[in-house]
Amino acid sequence: MEYGVGVRRRRRRRGELMAKKIILSGYTLAANSLDGTVVGNVTNKIADSTLSLIDNAGGRIKLVDLAIQADSVASVAGTYLITIKEQNSMATQLTQVEITVT
């Protein structure tokens, strides 16, 4: 589940906003998954932008290239918010995504 709250957009070229919003292909992870288990892949990012994970749900999730993966402490079931930062030379966008550990 993606939240509109927390998405921050900066102006690009004379008021043009970042038109694309990143999308995650999966939102669920089994508890006690091995480190590196893929939750989902990030799609729809701007070609020249970089991604970083600025809130990793207390160390439960990590970003490797375009893959959201379980980190070494993804063992406790629950619902966690992560925040992905997309940035290029003209704009920054934050997207919050809800990850469920079952």
For the stretch 5-62, pLDDT in tens is 444 444 444 333 456 788 888 889 888 888 999 999 998 888 888 999 999 988 889 9
Residue 91 has what pLDDT?
A: 82
> Cβ(25)–Cβ(2) under 8 Å?
no
50 CB-near residues (< 8 Å, 6+ apart): 86, 87, 88
Dihedral, CA of residue 56, residue 57, residue 61 and residue 67, to nearest 10: -60
The pTM is what? Answer: 0.76
For residue 67, the SS3 value is: strand
